[in-house]
Structure 1
Amino acid sequence: MRYDKGHKDATRQRIIDVASRQFREQGVAAVGLAGIMADAGLTNGAFYAHFDSKEDLVREVLSHAGFRNKLKAAESGAGLQSAIRGYLSASHRDNPGGGCPTSALVAEIARHPRATRDAFTNKVADVVELIAGLLPPGSEAEQRGKAIAIYGLMVGTLQLARAVNDRKLSSEILESGADQAVALVGQGSDARGGAGEAAPDTSPSTR
């Protein structure tokens, strides 16, 4: 049976969506293609009509998912402070399958082939650039250095909060990390969002 291009694109995106959730919940190494295709409602053989290999799919997941949408919303007025607190929220901690792949997959990606690490590197560089653009005015070097520190603090804080099995400590880690990341932005406010802005407890968009 022949399908139009729109159907093929939708099927490809469905595979990416399922794989993205499974990779973040279970880790790339623990997820098999059979499980991805079964959850997508497709046969194993259909996979190779869309991707060359599992590694090819991992790269697609990395390029499609991330923290970028929250930062794009911050550009249009929601505020970097709000985006930080949303990232370091209990709902994001408790929903790795619907959250940022960087915090879920960073340790694994370090062991993947160069092409996959290149895709990941490009994604991280994109997020750093977006954060830098939301910071108060300063030199390019200052803004870039601060953006890297903020993003690194956010990712590491979320990983640590997920790893500990003491709920109270986990919440303290999230709160302290968010406070320190917001402080790095500058005087508790940011260029787009304003000081003291309440942050919604929502997990970041992944597409």
Structure 2
Amino acid sequence: MKKHTTHTKEATHDRIVEAAARAIRRTGYNGTGVADIMKDAGLTHGGFYAHFASRDAMLAEAADRAGAQAVISASKAASSAPHGQSLEYMVRAYLSPQHQEDIESGCPIAALGSEMPRQAPEVRHAATCRIKEMIEVIAGQIPDPDLINKNRRALMTISNIVGALILARAVDDPQLAESISHAVIEQLTAGGS
């Protein structure tokens, strides 16, 4: 009986974290209330503290979950690419119209980056760990034996794609959004990386 209860509690906890990961990307950290997340998870507000010590603890797990999902997406894009085209596939998938529209399950860096300096240390730490992981995934697609250069190119790539996604989402002109994405795609993939 105890094993079933533990499994149920873990499944419930997972549902809350998943709802919170969607909510932070949809409405931001400050727009994400515990009551709304619990409702989205199909639970009452009263059960929150059975799963988390604080709102910040939940937000840290949500940031980690959202970041993990972004890393998985990038890795899948890379692994689906023909040999030698993994970085291009990642960049194109990241800057695709579908990703631009899918804020709720898209990249949390683009959705939440400007809010991070005002978050609790545990939330920032969770996001930082996943950003580092994303940089490593990108670096792994760069065919350069010079590790310093590879890391610089990965940093430049993530900075460019996140910035382009933020701008493309910000404008109300679909042609401008497309131009922003295409300019960055062309710049990052021109060298045949």
Task: Please report the TM-score for the alignment, with normalisation by the length of structure 1.
Answer: 0.83
Aligned residue runs from structure 1 range 166-177, under 5 A = 166-177=173-184
Which residue of 1 is the match for residue 76 of structure 2? Answer: 73
User: CA separation in 2, counterparts of 1:65 and 1:174?
Assistant: 22
1:154/1:181 contact within 8 Å kept: no
1:8 aligns to what?
9
- Paired residue for 2:120? 113
Q: Give the superposition deviation at 1:72.
A: 2.6
For 2:97 and 2:80, the matched residues in 1 are separated by: 23
Correspondence list, 1:121-200, <5 A: 121-183=128-190, 187-188=191-192, 190=193
Q: CA deviation at 1:152?
A: 0.7
Match of 2:103 among 90, 96, 110: 96
Q: Deviations over 1:14-50 (max 9, x none)?
A: 1111111111111111121111111111011111111
In structure 2, list runs of 5 or more residues that go unmatched.
none
Q: Distance in 2 between matches of 1:61 and 1:26?
A: 13
Secondary structure at 1:110's aligned position in 2?
helix
Considering Cα pairs closer than 8 Å and 6+ residues apart, tell me whether 1 or 2 has the greater RCO: 1
Deviates more, 1:65-74 or 1:160-169: 65-74
Two-structure CA RMSD over aligned residues (Å) = 1.7
Deviates more, 1:117-126 or 1:34-43: 117-126
Normalised by the size of structure 2, how large is the TM-score? 0.89
Aligned partners of 1:76, 1:165: CA distance in 2, in Å?
A: 33
The alpha carbon displacement at 1:158 in A equals 0.3
Higher-helix-fraction structure? 2
Count of residues paired in the alignment: 186
**1:71 aligned partner, one-letter code:** A
